């Protein structure tokens, strides 16, 4: 089953990959190790999970503006997520995604945090302002 | 610009501005007359920032006069001050990348005292929260609190999304602060610290006895911007837009707060994390004006200091202090004028100090968390000890 949802473009581009989803806002500065892509914030529910090559789905970002540079460094190190979907984008992650060339959208038309599970496949097309969710369990 | 007709750096910068405009629901862009860019100290932006800036510097050039925030070291005297070569080399590469983009490397948090002085009502893209607070409030210019990449993008495109403090409607008071005690010296920072905690991102409107001067307003704004997220404040009969701050507001639109002598005293005490004598005293947060340097020099004249002393300022103020003989008086007493950096963004934890004395509430707020050192907050007369 495929479900197509409208959303808003933040950072241009297209990506496809496995979803990693969290209901907690994330800080890249101090929260994610740019060398590996692993979440290192012990308080975060994604602690020790890896964001590399995933489509990261988050409610929003938080923390220091230096977080933007961390996303850029992850892209340089090839540890960045392939794409980012936020319920509500904020400047730190939005700016970082553009600096890093990581496609990003926000405002999906439904609350996807409650329907997505880790490992679901997603196609993100920021240029056309749509995402397609492909639930693995239907294969 | 968004389509890439002006090259990849402009394209990426405009993409950032458009995204910020969407997030904050701006209707359009507005041309800016200057930019102030943060994200300079290697201590804060690290290798990630260094790599990004070197890549941008290959093609990007700024379209408006732009100045730079403090760096992590004194660019000329880092070795004498004890900063490591490894840190300094990376720091100098960051500053060079900005210079290549056409940004003036004055490296100061008080650009309005160092050639970047806006006019009333002009639109800006400034980062550095204390400087934003100063130019919005004391000058009446219009800037949001930009992050480093946002301000750089605006400088490269010469425009910024029109929202927030660029709009008259967002410059109204949200909290009236009646101050019922006379204020002097470090009281202004303490007042800013306690009001910032209450008002958060709102706009405080102060009624204070007497007429605070530019140095007092600099301290007040820096404290408001660091304990809260204040970008604009008004002082009745002092700042240029105070008469517009209440216009059109109804009773109930603003809260009221009263500040007594004991509140200021409590705030001063809370800002110290230690009662020990400071081994290093850092003045000039935000960077000292020539007038402040002059006052410190007359206080030190003919004496010999027990503690180490740094007075942080810009190279422009330092040059004038040299000519006026202030630098010589300060150095004879055992102090130093340090340029381009400050106690918040320099890696002072690398040096062998334990307790830092400051007369800035902003510095008192940040030094314990950013440097892991203890801090004493007081007027400079009480921080300095003599042989």
Look up the ipTM and state it: 0.86
Cross-chain residue pair A69–B48, CB shorter than 8 Å: yes
Which 3 state secondary structure label does DSSP give B224?
Answer: helix
Q: Is A102 on the interface with B (CB under 8 A)?
A: no
- Probe site for chain B from A28, A60, A65, A104 (most B CB atoms < 10 A): A65
For residue B148, list chain A residues with Cβ-Cβ distance below 8 A: 65, 68
A64 tagged catalytic: yes
CA distance A74 to A64: 16
pLDDT value of residue A137: 58
pLDDT tens digit sequence for A28-56: 988 899 999 999 988 899 999 999 999 99
Please indicate if any CB of chain A lies within 8 Å of the CB of B49.
yes
pLDDT at B142: 98
Q: Is B96 exposed, middle or buried (0-12, 13-18, 19+ CB in 10 A)?
A: middle
- Chain A positions touching B15 (Cβ under 8 A) are 11-12, 98
Proportion of chain A above pLDDT 90, given as a percent: 78
Contact criterion met (CB < 8 Å) for B48 and A12: no
Contact B19 A73 (CB under 8 A): no
Give how many domains chain A has, as a whole number: 1
Does residue A65 carry a pLDDT above 90?
no
Per-residue pLDDT of chain B (387 residues; tens, 9 = 90+): 999 999 999 999 999 999 999 999 999 999 999 999 999 999 888 898 999 999 999 999 999 999 999 999 999 999 998 899 999 999 999 999 999 999 999 999 999 999 999 999 999 999 999 999 999 999 999 999 999 999 999 999 999 999 999 999 999 999 999 999 999 999 999 999 999 999 989 999 999 999 999 999 999 999 999 999 899 999 999 999 999 999 888 878 899 999 999 999 999 999 999 999 999 999 999 999 999 999 999 999 999 999 999 999 999 999 999 999 999 999 999 999 999 998 888 888 888 899 999 999 999 988 888 788 999 999 999 999 999
* Among B23, B45, B47, beta carbon nearest to A91: B23
- What percentage of chain A has pLDDT greater than the value 70? 96
- What CATH number should be reported for the domain holding residue A45? 3.50.30.10
What sign has the CA pseudo-torsion B368, A68, B91, B135? negative
Q: Could you tell me which of B91, B137, B92, B129 has the C-alpha nearest to residue B110?
A: B129
Residue A32 β-bridge partners: A39
CB contact, 8 Å: B253 with chain A? Answer: no
User: What domains appear along chain B, each with residue ranges and CATH number?
Assistant: 8-162 (3.30.499.10), 171-269 (3.40.50), 272-383 (3.30.499.10)
Residue of B nearest to A97 (CA): B16
In this complex, do A69 and B45 lie within 8 Å of one another by their Cβ atoms? yes
Largest CA distance in chain B: 66
Which residues have CB under 8 Å from A43's CB, separation 6+? none
| Residue A68 at interface with chain B, using a CB cutoff of 8 Å | yes
| B39 close to A (CB below 8 A) | yes
**Cα gap B363→B358, rounded to integer Å:** 7
Q: Of B243, B249, B217, whose CA–CA distance to B131 is shortest?
A: B217
Report the C-alpha gap between B244 and B310 in whole angstroms: 40
Q: Given pLDDT bands bounded at 50, 70 and 90, which one contains residue A136?
A: low
Catalytic residue among A60, A64, A114, A128: A64
Establish if B20 touches chain A: CB-CB under 8 angstroms: yes
Neighbours of A86 (CB within 10 A): 26
Per residue in A75-99, pLDDT (tens digit) is 999 999 999 999 999 999 999 999 9
Residues B150, A98: C-beta atoms closer than 8 Å: no
What the block records as the tokens of B55 is 């890549």
Sign, CA torsion A127/A128/A129/A132: negative
At B152, phi and psi to the nearest 5? -65, -45
- Interface membership of B44 toward A (CB under 8 Å): yes
Sign of CA dihedral B205, B208, B213, B218: negative
CB within 8 Å of chain B, chain A residues 72-91: 72-73, 76, 89-91
Q: What is the pTM of this model?
A: 0.92
- A12 to chain B, any CB pair closer than 8 A? The answer is yes
Q: Residue A63: its pLDDT value, please?
A: 75
Q: How far apart are CA B357 and CA A100, in angstroms?
A: 40
Question: Cβ–Cβ of A66/B45 closer than 8 Å?
Answer: yes
Mutate to test the interface with B, among A92, A98, A126, A127 (most CBs of B within 10 A): A98
Cβ within 8 Å, pair B49-A98: no
DSSP helix/strand/coil, B205: strand
Question: Within an 8 Å CB–CB cutoff, is residue B48 touching chain A?
Answer: yes
CA separation, residue B36 to residues B55, B65, B104, B140, B360 (Å): 20, 9, 10, 16, 21
Q: Which residues constitute the domain of residue A85?
A: 3-135
Q: Per-residue pLDDT for A139 more than 50?
A: no
């Amino acid at each position: 089953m495929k479900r197509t949802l409208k959303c808003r473009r933040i950072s241009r581009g297209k990506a496809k990959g496995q979803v990693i989803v969290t209901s907690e806002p994330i800080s890249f500065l101090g929260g994610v190790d740019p060398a590996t892509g692993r979440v290192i914030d012990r308080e975060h529910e994604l602690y020790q999970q890896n964001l590399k090559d995933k489509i990261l789905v988050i409610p929003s970002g938080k923390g220091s503006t230096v977080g933007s540079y961390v996303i850029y460094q992850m892209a340089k190190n090839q540890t960045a997520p392939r794409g980012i979907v936020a319920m509500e984008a904020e400047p730190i992650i939005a700016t970082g995604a553009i600096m890093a060339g990581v496609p990003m959208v926000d405002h999906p038309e439904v609350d996807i945090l409650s329907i997505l599970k880790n490992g679901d496949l997603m196609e993100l097309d920021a240029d056309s302002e749509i995402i397609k969710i492909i639930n693995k369990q239907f294969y | 610009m968004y389509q890439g007709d002006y090259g990849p750096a402009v394209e990426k910068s405009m993409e950032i501005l458009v995204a910020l405009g969407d997030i904050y629901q701006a209707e359009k862009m507005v041309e800016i007359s200057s930019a102030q860019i943060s994200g300079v100290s290697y201590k804060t932006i690290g290798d990630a920032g260094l790599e990004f800036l070197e890549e941008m510097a290959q093609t990007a050039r700024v379209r408006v006069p732009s100045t730079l925030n403090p760096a992590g070291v004194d660019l000329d005297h880092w070795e004498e001050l004890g900063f490591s070569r490894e840190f300094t080399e990376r720091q100098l590469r960051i500053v060079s990348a900005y210079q290549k983009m056409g940004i003036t490397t004055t490296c100061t948090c008080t650009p309005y005292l160092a050639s970047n002085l806006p006019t009333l009502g002009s639109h800006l893209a400034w980062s550095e929260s204390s400087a934003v607070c100063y130019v919005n409030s004391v000058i009446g210019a219009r800037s949001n609190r930009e992050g480093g990449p946002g301000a750089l993008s605006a400088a490269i495109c010469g425009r910024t999304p029109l929202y927030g403090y660029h709009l008259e409607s967002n410059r109204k008071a949200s909290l009236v602060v009646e101050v019922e005690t006379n204020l002097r010296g470090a009281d202004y920072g303490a007042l800013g610290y306690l009001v910032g905690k209450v008002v958060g991102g709102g706009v405080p409107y102060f009624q204070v006895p007497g007429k605070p001067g530019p140095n007092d307003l600099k301290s007040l704004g820096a404290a408001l911007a660091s304990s809260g997220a204040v970008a604009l404040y008004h002082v009745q009969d002092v700042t240029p837009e105070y008469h517009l701050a209440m216009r059109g507001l109804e009773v109930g639109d603003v809260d009221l707060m009263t500040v007594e002598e004991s509140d200021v005293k409590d705030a001063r005490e809370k800002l110290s994390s230690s009662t020990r004598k400071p081994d290093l005293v850092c003045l000039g947060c935000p960077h000292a004006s020539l007038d402040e340097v002059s006052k410190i020099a007359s206080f030190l004249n003919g004496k010999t200091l027990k503690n180490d002393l740094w007075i942080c300022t810009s190279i422009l103020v330092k040059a004038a202090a040299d000519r006026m003989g202030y630098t010589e008086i300060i150095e004879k007493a055992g102090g130093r004028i340090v340029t381009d950096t400050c106690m918040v963004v320099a890696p002072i934890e690398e040096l062998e100090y334990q307790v830092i004395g400051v007369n800035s509430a902003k510095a008192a707020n940040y030094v314990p968390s950013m440097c892991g050192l203890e801090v004493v907050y007081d007027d400079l007369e009480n921080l300095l000890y003599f042989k």
